Amino acid sequence: MAKFLRDLLDAEEPLFTTAIRQLELASGRQGADVKLIGDITSMAHANLRQLGLNPATSTGPEVYNALLARVEADMKRLTKVIGAKDTEDVEHLVPYMIEAANKVKFNRRVFVLKRERAKDLLRQMPPQKLMAKLGYQDIEQMFANEDFDEIYTALRFSEGPDWLNSYDELFESVKASDYEEREMRIIHMDHDKYVDLAENFVKKKLHNVTHSKEMGTIVVVPMHAKKMRGLVLKTLPLLLHYMNELKLYSTFFKLKSNKPHFGKIVVETLIADPQTASQLAGKQIHWRVIQRYLGKHKEDDISNVAFQPHVQPEDLHWRRAEDLLFEIDPELEFWKDRDYVGMMFDGFPVAFNLFDVSFAYSNQEPYEGRYAYHFRESLWNEIFVRYMGFKNLSSQVLEQLDNDMIAPEKLKVAKKVTSVPALIKKDEEQSLIIRRRLIDAAEGRLVGVIEEFEAVFELLGKHPKTVTIFGSARRPQDDNVTTGAYNLAARLAKSGYAVVTGGGHGVMEAANRGAYDVGGASIGLNIKLPFEQTLNEYTTENFEFAHFFGRKVSMTLDASAFVFFPGGFGTFDELFEILALTQTHKIPRVPIVLVGSDFWNGMDDFIKRVVL
């Protein structure tokens, strides 16, 4: 297992590596971590290029500050999109953000406590501090004159931990019949009544949104501060996040409504303490379901649980909130699918997660205090998803929301095909070595492929501009095709581009020789084969792969352009794969140049006539 993911998570060993291997065995999906590493690297580099940064040479502070600048621009645009004018005025912005959240398409029906039952509970335990603050001696008068959802949510500010603990014990008497379905609400809490009560909450949380899962209510709490930097990309995402969170808990409580001791289940779920039980069941590592964040900053002193295999419902809420946010402002898609993307700098990740960056912007966190807690929880989830599937993650989070463990070995996963009869058939005259490697690639059994990726990422990362050249390995060095490759590579090298080829002969050798002769960077990414594909003599740097998969991925990594000279099946294979990856946005769109119209015209005509 490469240390790439382990370092990003600061994961505990040997628990982490063992957990990954057990996910592989449970799912049959070997090499999913390799694909994840490649995706993270590719997406991070694509974002850096969009920000005008060089992935090979950018420093941590440069990346962090560029992301903050992007958030600032997005925040200003989003403020206008929702109809507001001032980007920092709290009282001005809150109504616009609530209106925007209420407009998104979302099923707001939730299974929550009946208001009359909640009033009965408070009659048994009157919230004396809240009543005194609001000027009531009679609780019935308070019920009659105040918004009940508002006062119920305010209990967490007013009464203190002892009262709340006693109230939890009382709440255990609640039955499923005390619950009902109704619409969730978003409330802007009365400023004058509650601003002093909410002061400590805002100071601790560094934001102004809370919620009540029991009542299905989301509350924007008042603040003494009249201005808040970056408010729209902090509060609006939180509103959308809590909408999804209320929906998840509502579904969970409804699923548990036929269980005895329903009230106790609700209380234990809302307390959200990570289990203290061992993750080891026999020799199997089980994944915790953890509802709370376990540290924000690099220096935070947090539980070891944060560094052990776990999944996080919070990340699912953020991902869904992000989708709703993209509906409001499609230009925010710079951040799409970046929840689990990060790069290591100075011993701690720089996260590309929108919410880590936007919260850091709002709180004016310096580089040394950067956030990575949303990112890390998302990456834990993504690792689980890559092996066990999103359906398993969603269903297990729902089923184990009361802080239970997930046992991967007991889950059903759609298995990949484990044999390819057409390739396995013995044929001594054809190279069984090549066939075996093709089968390995198809099945994902890529022993050592992570180490290959690490070496090549380091090699290519030193070159900010690369052009990959493809073509026949059989052309002589003195024909017009190889001469053209030589001349083009020489010109590219003189212009500061590193020339990358498959490192073989024919067109590849000519291109490497062209770059080499003018003193440029000439890179060969060779493959071990029993014939033909030996490394040419004109590379300044090279790497020899044992696996086709790793080589093909590396030859598409961060290229500034792809150039194709006439060639055979291998050349066509690379061309169509790059076209497909570009069309599906898996790699950035860069120039794809076909050299030699006489050779390529027939294929071009075929594509225009036949391909849909």
Residue 388: its pLDDT value, please? 73
Contact 62, 27 (CB under 8 A): no
- Closest to 401 (Cα-Cα) out of 266, 284, 531: 266
DSSP sequence for 258-273? TSSSHHHHHHHHHH-P
Residue ranges of domains in the chain = 66-405, 447-610
Residue 360: its pLDDT value, please? 96
Distance CA 313, CA 529 (A): 47
**Within the chain, which residues score under 50 in pLDDT?**
1, 273-283, 292-307, 415-420, 422-432, 435-437, 439-447
Residue 416: its pLDDT value, please? 46
Q: What is the pLDDT of residues 259-283, one digit of tens each?
A: 889 999 899 888 754 444 334 444 4
Residue 533: its pLDDT value, please? 64
DSSP bridge pairs for 444? none
Residue 171: its pLDDT value, please? 95
Residue 551: its pLDDT value, please? 83
Residue 78: its pLDDT value, please? 97
End-to-end CA distance of the chain: 41
Question: How do strand 405-406 and strand 217-220 relate by DSSP bridges?
Answer: unpaired
Distance CA 549, CA 557 (A): 13
Chain centroid to Cα 277, Å, comes to: 28
Q: Which residues are CB-contacts of 177 (< 8 A; sequence separation ≥ 6)?
A: none
Q: What is the CATH number of domain 447-610?
A: 3.40.50.450
Residue 319: its pLDDT value, please? 77
Residue 51: its pLDDT value, please? 96
Q: What is the pLDDT of residues 457-510, one digit of tens each?
A: 778 878 889 999 999 998 999 899 999 999 999 999 999 999 999 998 999 999
Residue 435: its pLDDT value, please? 47
Residue 413: its pLDDT value, please? 57
Say whether 544 sits in a helix, a strand or coil.
strand
